[in-house]
Structures are given as C-alpha cells and as structure tokens.
Structure 1
Amino acid sequence: MEELRMIGEKIEKFKYILVEHIELFEEEEPLYDFETSKEVRSKLIQIHADALIHGKAQAMESMKITGMEIGKRIVDMGIPLDKNIEEAQLVRNLFWSFIEEEVSNRYYSIEILLKASSIIDAILDQFIHCVSISYVNHYKEMAKMANDSLQKIKENQEVMEELSTPIVQTILKDVLLLPLIGRIDDWRMESMQSTVLRKCADLHAEVLIMDFSGITFTKESNMLSLLDQLVGALALMGTETMFVGFTPDVVKEIVKLDFANQVKSFLSFRQALEYLFKQRGLALQPV
C-alpha cells in the first residue's frame, strides 16, 4: 500500500533522530557503548522501515539474521537476555510514540496506522524470538566449551599429579617406591596423598618406600603433619610405610612428631630393599 510505503520512507529518513529519541524512554544506562548502541538501534529501525516499504516477508528474514547475531553478541558481552528484551521494548515504545504523533497530526487514517503498527509489532516480535533462541543456544555452546575446558584442565592436572608422584614397582611386586624430587609444598603434598592411596590400593602394595633424598624442605609448610596423615591412612589400608634419604634438616623436624618412631627409616633405598629381602628370606644379588 502506498501509505505504508510513505510511512516507511519517513521512518527511514528520520531514523537517526528516532535513535536519539529512544534515550527519552531509557531508565537505565544503555546495554552497549554509545556507538554500538546507535548502530544496533538504527539497524532495527531500518528493518522496520524496510518492512513498510518493501513488504514484511523480506524484513522478517533480515530481522531473523539480526536477532541471531545480537543473541550471540550479548552472550559474549555478558548481557542478560531480559535486558535485551527491555531494549526491544524501548524500540516498540518509540514506534508507538511515532504512530500517536502521526494520528494526532492526521497525516494518515487510523486504519493505515493500525496496519503499520501490526507490521512493526510482528517484526519486533520476530526480533525478540530470534534473539532469545540464539541467546539460549549460544549460551549452551559456551557452557559446553567451558565445561570441556574445565575437564581438560582437570585431566592435565591429573597428569601433572601423576608425574609429580612417580610411584614405581620394585623388584618385589608388592613393594612400591615413591622417589620425591624438588620442592614439596602443602598443595603438592595434599594432591600426592590421593594419588599414593589410589596407587597402593590398585597395586595391592604391602610396603611403600618413600625416598626423600631429592626434596627441598621448608619449615613453613605443613608437609610433616600431612605426611603423618598419609602414613596413618596407608596403615589403615594395610600398607607399611618406610622412609629413606632424610636429610639432617628434615630429621630435626620429624623427630618431634609421634609417628617418627613408628616408621622404619633407612639411609638409602638399597638398604631398605636389603632389609625387606632379609625379612622374607631372600638374597639381594650384587650387580
């Protein structure tokens, strides 16, 4: 209809002025920065103008594409969906204000303006619908990516824990060796506990030999109290703990703890192995 086309052309002509008028309806700060807000609002107004000039079908498709794009954008920007729906309502209020002005000036008949408003409402409803679908779908994708990333981090952390707790079987299959190397802090000791307990259970270990000759000990850490907990947990599982390779600094601290006299200690791994061989009536052949 010619009248609808004329209304659309008028909206197109004054779209940037209409964008500025939207600010009159705002009660809060705009969702985007000034330039982005101006770009989005002018695009929405232009699509409504196109619907009146060229027909609703083409404009509905354009609004679908725009809605899908904006749905993804607001997820990436961390903007809640309801805030974007409020933005769409501002545009709706703008058009209703425009229609009321046209009615008061009697430029067009009531029937034509009602027809124009029904087209505008349909286009805007399409926008809200597409934004909502895009928002939900993209949010799910982002959540899945985040979960996948967290899972990957967890897997990498487990690998690092395995590497930092290199438990190996000795020549005696039920005797395991844990050579500790580097700085042992509270975090590493705590993560090591679960790995040690799991490995000892999986391999049915009767004895765990812990070699401390390669570690750096800091008095500020809770390593020794955590070590006490680990020894107690292993004992409950039926696994005996032996210590080898303590440095003088560590010995000075460990003798203060209750479990010091409950755990067999040796100068080296070889001495511990010789003790176990002798205890079992076996002979350790010299290499």
Structure 2
Amino acid sequence: MDKEEYIKVLEKRVEEYEAAIADMTAPIIPSIIPQTILVPITGLLMAERFEKITVKILNHVKDHDTEFAIIDFTDITVDRIEQMCLSELGQQIRNLTDSINLMGVKPCFVGMTPQLIKEIVLSGIELNAETHANFQAALKHLMKINSLVFQKI
C-alpha cells in the first residue's frame, strides 16, 4: 500500500470514529413514556457539534412517532463548552427548541446549570419549552399529563 492509499484509509477510519463518537455523545433513547425520547448530551460542546445534534434529533423525529423530546444537559458545565460562549449556546438551544416545535414535538430541557440558565435569561432568549431540574422530574410530569402511573405487580 502506497502512502496516498494509507492516508485515505486513515482518513476514512477517522471519519468512522468521529461518527461513532457523535452517536455515543448524544444518543437518542426511547423512553418508558410512549412517543417520548431522551437525548442526553455529553462531552465537549462546540457550535458545530450542537448543530449536528440538532440535525440528528430532527431526523429521528421525522422518522419516528415522537410527541416529546427530553434533552438532558446534566453533563454540560461551563468547562465542557469549547469555543462557544454561554450566550451562543443559549441561542443554539433556542434554535433547537424552535426546530423541534416546528416538527410538532414538544421539547423539554432538563439538567441545565445555573450559569447557563442565567445566561439564557440575561440574553433575553425565550425558550418555548418546558424545563425541569432533572430527568426524573420530567418523566413524572409527562406521566401525569399522559395519565400514566407505575403499579407494583
């Protein structure tokens, strides 16, 4: 194998690894609540990556019967935001919210840090979405509005 072929093989392998990492750092998980997905966002967050996450969510929603999308920011702290200020992240979240709403899905955000919430409020960004402190609180709320209850068997 010559040098150019070797470089092409390595470039392809890097692309495959990047795709695998992207899938792992924002998986779309079906919830116990019907027509509800959970998307935990983990790892370093950059504007380009957030846009890819948005596209991934929208493509999933397009192909699946989804009514609610719970986006979990628990792992995203100020030190996890790379090359992006909090106000830019707030704007990205607003774009995600607007896009999900336009697809007929109700977004729900959980696990936002106080710093991120403060920046969103100070930036004047209005989110047309429900928010909850954590995933458990969001599930309880969705169970209530869907008239679902846990029962011991």
Q: TM-score range by the shorter chain?
A: 0.7 to 0.9
Superposition TM-score, scaled by structure 2 size: 0.79
For the structure 1 residues 199 and 271, does the alpha-carbon distance in structure 2 shift closer, same or farther, using more than 3 Å as the test? same
Pair 1:236-2:97 in alignment: no
How far 1:148 sits from its partner (Å)? 4.7
| Aligned-partner residue type, residue 64 of structure 2 | L
| Alignment partner, residue 254 of structure 1 | 120
Pair 1:271-2:137 in alignment: yes
- Deviation by residue 1:244-273 (Cα, 9 ceiling, x = unmatched): 11221111012234333x211111211111
| Aligned-partner residue type, residue 171 of structure 1 | I
- Give the gaps of 5 or more residues in structure 2: none
Q: 1:181–1:212: 8 Å Cα contact kept in structure 2?
A: yes
**What does 1:94-243 align with in structure 2 at a 5 Å threshold?**
142=4, 147-217=8-78, 218=81, 220=85, 222-243=88-109
How far 1:241 sits from its partner (Å)? 0.5
Q: How far apart are the structure 2 equivalents of 1:162 and 1:239?
A: 21
| Aligned-partner residue type, residue 251 of structure 1 | I
How far 1:181 sits from its partner (Å)? 2.6
For the structure 1 residues 201 and 148, does the alpha-carbon distance in structure 2 shift closer, same or farther, using more than 3 Å as the test? farther
Q: 1:175–1:209: 8 Å Cα contact kept in structure 2?
A: yes
Q: How far apart are the structure 1 equivalents of 2:111 and 2:134?
A: 5
SS in 2 for 1:166: coil
Superposition TM-score, scaled by structure 1 size: 0.45
Question: Root-mean-square deviation (CA), in Å?
Answer: 2.5
SS in 2 for 1:283: coil
Greater fraction helix: 1
How far 1:145 sits from its partner (Å)? 5.7
Q: How far apart are the structure 2 equivalents of 1:204 and 1:159?
A: 25
Q: How far apart are the structure 1 equivalents of 2:95 and 2:85?
A: 18
- Deviation by residue 1:121-164 (Cα, 9 ceiling, x = unmatched): xxxxxxxxxxxxxxxxxxxxx4x665554433322221111011
SS in 2 for 1:215: coil
Q: 2:73–2:111: 8 Å Cα contact kept in structure 1?
A: yes
174-183 or 210-219: bigger deviation = 210-219
For the structure 1 residues 229 and 270, does the alpha-carbon distance in structure 2 shift closer, same or farther, using more than 3 Å as the test? same
Q: 2:110–2:132: 8 Å Cα contact kept in structure 1?
A: yes
| Aligned-partner residue type, residue 254 of structure 1 | I
How far 1:173 sits from its partner (Å)? 3.5
Q: How far apart are the structure 2 equivalents of 1:150 and 1:157?
A: 11
190-199 or 171-180: bigger deviation = 190-199
- Give the gaps of 5 or more residues in structure 1: 1-74, 77-141
Runs of 4+ that moved beyond 3 A: 144-152
- Deviation by residue 1:158-187 (Cα, 9 ceiling, x = unmatched): 111101112211102310111223432223
Q: How far apart are the structure 1 equivalents of 2:16 and 2:85?
A: 30
Q: How far apart are the structure 2 equivalents of 1:160 and 1:226?
A: 21
Q: 1:182–1:216: 8 Å Cα contact kept in structure 2?
A: no
Q: How far apart are the structure 2 equivalents of 1:168 and 1:153?
A: 25
